[in-house]
Chain A
Amino acid sequence: MAIISKPPLSPIGMQIMLWALPALLVLAYVLPFAGVALRSVTRPAPGLENYVRIVASPDLRMILYRTVLICGVSTILTVPLAYILAYYWVMGRAVTSRLMEICIFLPFWISVLVRAFGWMVILRNNGLASDLATFLGLPAEMLATGRSANSVVIGMVHFMVPFAVLPMASVMRKIDHRVLLAANGLGAAAPYVFWRVFLPMSAPGIYSALSVSFILSLGFFVTPMVLGGGRVTMIAEAVFVQMFQTANWGLGSALGIILMLFVLAVLWLVRSVVKLDQSVSR
């Protein structure tokens, strides 16, 4: 092969290769981001007007509050579900494990828009869920959540589960099975082994699943639009409205910056918790 016969890169070549990545980062991320940050304090006039408006406006505060609430609830539902799936995927017998794998990854490959419409067909007022409820003799509203915040949460959880499974599964794979056997050999019953040994050892996976899910959920756009009946406005949609509908780029940028501060705050929080957890367990 031609590639093998080529001489290794010269020192200058190495330098260029090394600097390519930060250069790309600056061009593709830092510069546009600086533009957004600048816009948020210069449009329509220089100053913090946009941020003041966000803090002062009950409507925008409501959107922020709703975003955090819906994302919090979806994350809290996603992580335990994903934990169970990850557990059986990693620890289960071959057949279970394979089945879990299919259940986790099949939806993973379907677009978020298709999934949102799929849930719409199921959850809408006279859809599959209400038919099922009628068949079971339950009130239709019990299963058919219609176009509402509840449906948005269902759609979001469904989307996020695979993302939460992956970090937890990778931590679970690294757990030394001999430790579990040892606990068992010392007389601990299976639930006790899980509770006192497996769960604490898999905790780092839970923390990263929590942060991945929450951060991912903050940016949801399509799912609330489709399943919320136009009423469940979250921050991503609020940014869209200011950018495209009212062309108020300053306010849109400020909302974007606030979204990013949220993300940074979550990352910082998770890091602190993990550090604390490590220092306690040592």
Chain B
Amino acid sequence: MNRNLTDDCLDLLQSQHAAGRIDRRTFLVGLALLGGASAIGGRFAQAADKQLVVTNWGGDAVDAFQKALTGTYASERAVDVKINGSGPTKGAMKAQFESGAVSWDVCDADPGATKSLGELGMIEPIDYGVVDRDQVQPGFAYEFSVANYFLSYVIAYDAKKFGDNPPTSWADFWDVEKFPGKRSLYKWMSGCMEAALLADGVPADKLYPLDEDRAIRKLEALKPHVLSYWDSGAESQQLMRDGEVSMALMWHTRANLVEQDTGGDVRWTYAQGILAPSGWAVIKGNPSGRAAAMDFISYCQDPQRQIELLRALGCGAANPKAHDLVPADLKPLDCSSAENVARQVLMDMDWYAARSDKALDKYLAMIAS
């Protein structure tokens, strides 16, 4: 919005200058002032036209959101929707709030991080008068965020090596005798602590609260066999595609892409996959206001739009009404459908809200030591 206004003023200045109504020096002063105004922040923003900024994690997700969600929303509601792919990490959202110049309206964020920021008063509670609780998988309509899609941390494996006898558990992932080769885990911990505890024999229903020290010990034991702790989804794909590792903990969306790329030389399984929600969240003081943000969130709940997102990005629907409508070819990717959920373990975002910072410090110290 702020940018819109700035652009407007720029146009005006330029036309004034071109028409000879203002001289070059005034034109330059005007430009400098505009630069200053946009640096000071989005306070003018409220005055400009309708615009909505949706922030996600970039890459393929920008086009996918555009295709499945924001494109039609923009034309139906006559709102200019911008997708910002810079990644609403916890620190970035906190920085938005504290700067007093929030420029994001709706964030595709981690429900754990959102909850801990929400408890500090930085996040708008979801308005369940507008957003329909019944259109959210039970248990995933949180106070400060609402599930927008699901993804799963799954085992991807080299099918040329293990095709006849594929791994079926995290215990297999840890078993480098039976399944030789290097491994790759996620650098930012999510899913890895759970995988370690499951491999160590903790029953799925006794997983939370995670026994951090036990998980770290188990992860430490695998460390000599871990070639790389991947940082981006693309990196995890490359490690599997080039055969650098024989197994990796990956997002199922990315595992699916490698499977396609390699014509089935890499495969993956939902067995003991760790199913995690992503959530829509609104930072307090968002430029378009709470109501506009909630309207967008409720718009995205539509089952058909969820299926469009599944088609474009491969992530599971958050609306339970969508699962039955998913076409057969997409069903294997719909990680949150009842039949796929049955094979997985649900991630507890409350644990992440309370513990993830401290645990991440421990985890990173373990991999870097």
Given contacts A125-B244, A245-B89, A245-B188, contact A233 B368 (CB under 8 A): yes
A230 & B367 in contact (Cβ 8 Å cutoff): yes
B230 & A246 in contact (Cβ 8 Å cutoff): no
B368 & A59 in contact (Cβ 8 Å cutoff): yes
CA gap between A184 and B365 in the complex, in Å: 58
A59 & B369 in contact (Cβ 8 Å cutoff): yes
How far is the CB of A48 from the nearest CB of chain B, in Å? 19
Q: How many residues of B contact A (CB 8 A)?
A: 28
CA gap between A192 and B360 in the complex, in Å: 57
How far is the CB of B40 from the nearest CB of chain A, in Å? 12
CA gap between A38 and B364 in the complex, in Å: 26
Residues of B within 8 A of A249 (CB): 91, 94
Residues of B within 8 A of A62 (CB): 365, 368-369
CA gap between A146 and B188 in the complex, in Å: 21
Type the 1/0 row for A238-262, where 1 means its CB is closer than 8 Å to any CB of B: 0001011111110000000000000
> Within 8 Å of chain B (Cβ to Cβ): is A128?
no
Type the 1/0 row for B337-359, where 1 means its CB is closer than 8 Å to any CB of A: 00000000000000000001100
Type the 1/0 row for A219-234, where 1 means its CB is closer than 8 Å to any CB of B: 0000001000111110
How far is the CB of B230 from the nearest CB of chain A, in Å? 7
Residues of A within 8 A of B230 (CB): 230
**Interface on A for B, CB 8 Å cutoff?**
59, 62-63, 66, 124-126, 146-147, 225, 229-233, 241, 243-249
The 8 closest A-B pairs by CB, nearest first: A230-B229, A59-B365, A244-B91, A229-B228, A233-B368, A246-B357, A247-B91, A230-B187
What are 26 A-B interface contacts by the 8 Å CB criterion? A59-B361, A59-B364, A59-B365, A59-B368, A59-B369, A62-B365, A62-B368, A124-B244, A125-B244, A126-B243, A147-B227, A147-B228, A229-B228, A230-B187, A230-B228, A230-B229, A230-B367, A231-B367, A233-B368, A243-B91, A245-B91, A246-B361, A247-B89, A247-B94, A247-B357, A248-B357
Known A59-B361, A247-B91; 17 more pairs at CB < 8 Å: A59-B364, A62-B365, A230-B228, A230-B229, A230-B367, A232-B368, A233-B364, A233-B367, A241-B364, A244-B92, A245-B90, A245-B188, A245-B360, A246-B360, A247-B113, A249-B91, A249-B94
